[in-house]
C-alpha cells in the first residue's frame, strides 16, 4: 500500500497526443489574440468582448461540458490544460472560464434533465454566462454559515439575502444561488447537522428583486473582479430547485472539489509565465560584467522556481486524472494540488520580481501583476487553510474510515 492510496498505479497521470494538440491550439490563440492585450485589460479592468467572441468561436467555453449539451467534452484534464494556458497570459480570463464551471457543475451533477437542457447549452456555446452566488459577509469557506433565506410559497420560492465576491456577476445571465430553507437551529434539532437545511436554486438575471451591487476592487484579477449580488424577495419557480431541498451543502462542496483543480491550473499558468520571464531576464541582463544567470544566487532561485513549477503541474494533472477516472480519491488530490500550486505560484512570482530587481515592480513589465493574481488564488474556492483541513480529514477517512 502506498499510504493512503492502494497502489503506485494510483499516481498515474493520463496525458495523450490529443491533449498536446489541444494545448498547442490554445497556445496559438492566446499568443495571437490575448497576450498582446494584457496591458489594455489591466488598464481598463475589463476583458474585451472580442476575446470572449473568439473563445466562443473556438469552443473553449464548452471544454469539459458533455457533447450532448453542446459542449466539447474532455473532462477535467482538458479543462486544466485550457486554464493553464489562458492563465499564463491573463489569469483573470481563466477566472471568467472557471466561473461558468462553477455554475454548470452542480447542475450537471445534481440537476434535472430539463435544467441541463435549458441552461447548459447556452453556456457551452458561449452565448450566455453563469455565476455562482454562495459567499456572504459572514460565510465564505464556512459554507454552512450562509444566512440568505428561501421560503416556499405555493409553486415557487422567495429568496432574500446578500452575496459578496461573486465573480462574473456583472455579465452573468444565470446564477446558482445558495439559501437556507431550514434555520440552523431547526437543522441541529432535527438532524444534529449544522450544514443541513441549505438549498440551491437557479436564478435568471432579469428576475425581479435580483440586483448587482458594488464591485469589489480586489488587488488582482483585473478584468474579472467580483461583485455584490443582492436578492430582495426574489421569486424563483419551484422547478429551479437544484437537487433536493435542504441538501445543497453537499452539492456545493462537491462542486468545489472539482473546480479547485481549475484554481490549481490557474496557479500553474501564473508560475509558468513568471518563471519564463525570470529565466529570460537572467539570460539577457548583465550585472558586474556578467549575465545574471552566472550568479550562484540566481541559479539557486531559478532551480527552486522550476522544481516548484513542475511539482505543481504534476499534482494538478494527477488530480485531474483521478477526477476523470471517477475516483473518489480525487478530492484529497485536488486539495493537495490547489494548496501547493497556488502557494508555489505566489512564491515563484515573488522570486521573479526579485530577479528583475527594480523593473520587477514596474507595472509596464507585467511581472508584478502575476504576484497579485497569485495571492488571490490562495484564497478563493476555499482558502489554503481549508484545503489543509480537507487533506487531513480525507486522509483519515480514506486510510482508516474515520471522521474527524
List the catalytic residues.
381
The label of the residue with cell 467555453 reads 61
Tell which residue, 143, 147, 133, has the closest CA to residue 227: 133
Hey, what's the cell of 340?
A: 501547493
For residue 40, how far is the Cα from the chain centroid? 23
Do 374 and 267 meet the contact criterion of CB atoms below 8 Å apart? yes
- Catalogue the E-assigned strands of 266-307: 286-287, 290-291
Do 209 and 231 meet the contact criterion of CB atoms below 8 Å apart? yes
| Dist CA 392 CA 318 (whole Å) | 18
CA distances from 78 to 11, 92, 163 (A): 18, 19, 31
Neighbours of 260 (CB within 10 A): 27
Exposed, middle or buried by CB within 10 Å (0-12, 13-18, 19+), for 172?
buried
Amino acid at each position: 500500500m502506498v499510504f493512503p492510496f492502494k497502489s503506485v498505479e494510483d499516481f498515474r497521470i493520463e496525458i495523450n497526443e490529443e491533449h498536446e494538440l489541444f494545448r498547442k491550439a490554445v497556445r496559438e490563440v492566446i499568443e495571437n489574440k490575448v497576450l498582446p492585450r494584457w496591458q489594455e485589460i489591466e488598464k481598463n479592468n475589463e476583458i474585451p468582448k472580442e476575446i470572449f467572441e473568439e473563445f466562443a468561436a473556438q469552443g473553449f467555453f464548452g471544454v469539459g461540458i458533455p457533447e450532448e449539451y453542446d459542449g466539447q467534452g474532455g473532462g477535467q484534464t482538458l479543462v486544466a490544460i485550457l486554464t493553464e494556458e489562458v492563465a499564463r497570459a491573463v489569469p483573470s480570463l481563466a477566472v471568467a472560464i472557471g466561473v461558468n464551471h462553477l455554475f454548470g457543475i452542480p447542475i450537471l451533477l445534481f440537476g434535472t434533465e430539463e435544467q441541463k437542457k435549458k441552461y447548459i447549452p447556452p453556456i457551452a456555446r458561449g452565448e450566455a454566462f453563469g455565476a455562482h452566488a454562495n459567499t456572504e459577509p459572514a460565510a465564505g469557506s464556512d459554507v454552512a454559515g450562509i444566512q440568505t433565506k428561501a421560503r416556499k410559497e405555493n409553486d415557487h420560492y422567495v429568496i432574500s439575502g446578500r452575496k459578496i465576491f461573486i465573480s462574473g456577476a456583472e455579465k452573468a445571465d444565470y446564477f446558482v444561488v445558495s439559501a437556507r430553507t431550514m434555520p440552523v437551529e431547526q437543522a441541529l434539532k432535527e438532524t444534529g447537522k449544522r450544514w443541513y437545511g441549505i438549498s440551491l436554486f437557479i436564478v435568471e438575471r432579469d428576475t425581479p428583486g435580483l440586483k448587482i451591487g458594488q464591485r469589489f476592487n480586489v488587488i488582482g484579477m483585473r478584468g474579472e473582479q467580483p461583485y455584490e449580488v443582492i436578492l430582495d424577495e426574489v421569486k424563483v419557480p419551484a422547478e429551479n430547485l437544484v437537487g433536493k431541498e435542504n441538501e445543497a451543502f453537499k452539492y456545493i462542496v462537491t462542486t468545489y472539489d472539482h473546480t479547485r483543480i481549475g484554481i490549481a491550473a490557474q496557479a500553474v499558468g501564473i508560475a509558468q509565465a513568471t518563471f519564463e520571464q525570470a529565466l529570460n531576464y537572467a539570460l539577457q541582463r548583465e550585472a558586474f560584467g556578467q549575465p545574471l544567470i552566472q550568479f550562484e544566487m540566481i541559479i539557486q532561485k531559478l532551480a527552486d522556481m522550476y522544481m516548484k513549477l513542475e511539482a505543481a503541474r504534476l499534482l494538478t494533472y494527477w488530480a485531474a486524472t483521478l477526477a476523470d477516472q471517477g475516483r473518489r480519491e480525487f478530492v484529497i488530490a485536488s486539495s493537495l494540488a490547489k494548496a501547493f500550486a497556488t502557494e508555489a505560484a505566489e512564491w515563484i512570482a515573488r522570486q521573479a520580481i526579485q530577479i528583475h530587481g527594480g523593473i520587477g515592480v514596474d507595472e509596464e513589465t507585467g511581472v508584478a501583476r502575476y504576484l497579485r493574481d497569485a495571492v488571490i488564488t490562495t484564497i478563493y474556492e476555499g482558502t489554503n487553510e481549508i484545503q489543509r483541513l480537507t487533506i487531513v480529514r480525507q486522509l483519515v477517512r480514506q486510510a482508516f474510515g474515520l471522521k474527524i
